[in-house]
Amino acid sequence: MIDKNLCADALRLMLNSRFFEEKTEELFKAGLIHGTTHLANGQEAAQAGLCLALNDGDWIVPTHRCHGFTICKGSSAQAMFAEMFGSRHGLAKGLGGSMHMPDKEHYNLGSSAVVGSGVPLATGIAFKLKFDSTKSAAFATSTAQNPKTCPPVPVKNLSVAIFGDGASSRGSVHESMNIASIWKLPVLFYCENNRYGMSAPSDKMVSVDRVSDRAAAYSIPGKVVDGNDFEAVYNAVMEAAAYIREGNGPCLLEVMTYRFKGHSKSDRRLYRTSDEEQIWLLRDPILLLEQKMIQNSYMTQEKITDLEKSCRADIEEQAKKALASSGEKLSEDEVLNLVYATKEDRL
């Protein structure tokens, strides 16, 4: 069993993620945020379990459903709200919105609206991390001459390519796994399987029973983990990360979870039954962690309630502050300067 302090950290992050999503939905319904958003209510253990198992300097490249991972990696909720308001105080200075939230300070390259597009970027980061670890041109020379004989190169840091079951059949994902395997790159392929790619159930759209079964085709370890169990996710990521840091190459983790909301804010979820949703609500990852903490005398119900109130109040305050400055936007000249910025002046 993981220790008390780690559980408390996890619960705080998971609550912040849940309340952030709830506040985001509220702001959209009030007409204060425009465009679209993809909420991850119900997937919080997959987010916290990953990010708490990573080291400082480990990179993540999330999907369009990125809010929870961004919070769990350390980003400011106020800056995230500001981004959705189109404010200059946002993570991308208001130019990205809900699906594009980079934060280099916290080793988050940012997500993209293009499904699966972050996977080759994370693979590229892994190449750079391995190249830097050699401190010479030997790695580049060996990969050019005979890629499959690349020596194991222990690394301090790794990158995480986060994608969903809907992206698991994209060509860019398979190409990335192939080259990462050949070059033994330090990348964790992290498939957050919430069982639906938009409205299409993954068991009808994916050719294998488990996405992780495809790992064998690339000669890399593959594992399925209960994505609603924080401890299971955390331990699986710790194990995979240790393997990768030793220089053995990539791993594929398939984290099985479920989104409580629709694919996007306009999705009424007509493709699944209320009975199915009720079954999964009983496996709410926050509820499961709270139950485990009470059973192990890590926290009383009273303390948990106090923490919930504190986290909700903090998210409300961050949203309020972001809303107060939501009218402070970049000028046209400032936007153009960013587009044509030199390397030194970029975000």
Interval 152-170: pLDDT, tens: 789 999 999 999 999 999 9
pLDDT of residue 72: 98
Please check the confidence at residue 347 and state whether its pLDDT lies above 60.
Answer: no
Q: What is the mean pLDDT of residues 14-41?
A: 96
Q: What is d(CA 62, CA 68) in angstroms, rounded to the nearest whole number?
A: 10
User: What mean pLDDT value characterizes the chain?
Assistant: 93
Please check the confidence at residue 343 and state whether its pLDDT lies above 80.
Answer: no
Distances (CA, A) of 158 to 56, 231, 247, 279: 10, 21, 10, 36
- Give the chain's count of helices (H) and strands (E): 13, 7
pLDDT of residue 345: 60
pLDDT of residue 317: 98
Please check the confidence at residue 144 and state whether its pLDDT lies above 60.
Answer: no
Residue 340 confidence class, pLDDT cut points 50, 70, 90: confident
Residue 1 confidence class, pLDDT cut points 50, 70, 90: confident
pLDDT of residue 341: 75
59 contacts 157 by C-beta, under 8 angstroms:
yes
Closest CA to 215 of 256, 160, 252, 178: 252
Query: Each residue of 92-116: pLDDT tens digit?
Result: 999 999 999 999 999 999 998 899 9
pLDDT of residue 147: 63
Query: Each residue of 185-239: pLDDT tens digit?
Result: 999 999 999 999 999 889 888 999 999 999 999 999 999 999 999 999 999 999 9
Q: What is d(CA 293, CA 109) in angstroms, rounded to the nearest whole number?
A: 33
Q: What is the mean pLDDT of residues 175-180?
A: 97
The fold for domain 4-340 equals Rossmann fold (3.40.50)
Burial 294-319 (b: 16+ CB within 10 A, else e): eeeebbeeeebeebbeebbebbeebb
pLDDT of residue 137: 54
Helix, strand, coil share of the chain (percent; to 5): 50, 10, 40
Query: Each residue of 63-81: pLDDT tens digit?
Result: 999 999 999 999 999 999 9
159 contacts 50 by C-beta, under 8 angstroms:
no
- CA torsion angle for 277, 281, 285, 291 (degrees, to 10)? -160
Q: What is the mean pLDDT of residues 11-29?
A: 97
pLDDT of residue 40: 98
Burial 244-279 (b: 16+ CB within 10 A, else e): bbebbbbbbbbbbbbbbbbbbbebebeeeeeeeeee
Q: What is d(CA 6, CA 8) in angstroms, rounded to the nearest whole number?
A: 5
Please check the confidence at residue 311 and state whether its pLDDT lies above 60.
Answer: yes
Please check the confidence at residue 173 and state whether its pLDDT lies above 90.
Answer: yes
Beta-strand ranges (E) seen in 116-226 are 159-164, 187-193, 196-197, 200-201, 222-226
Q: How large a percentage of the chain has pLDDT more than 90?
A: 85
Please check the confidence at residue 127 and state whether its pLDDT lies above 60.
Answer: yes
211 contacts 254 by C-beta, under 8 angstroms:
yes
Beta bridge partners of 256: 193, 226
60 contacts 51 by C-beta, under 8 angstroms:
yes
Residue 156: alpha-carbon gap to chain centroid: 20
pLDDT of residue 214: 96
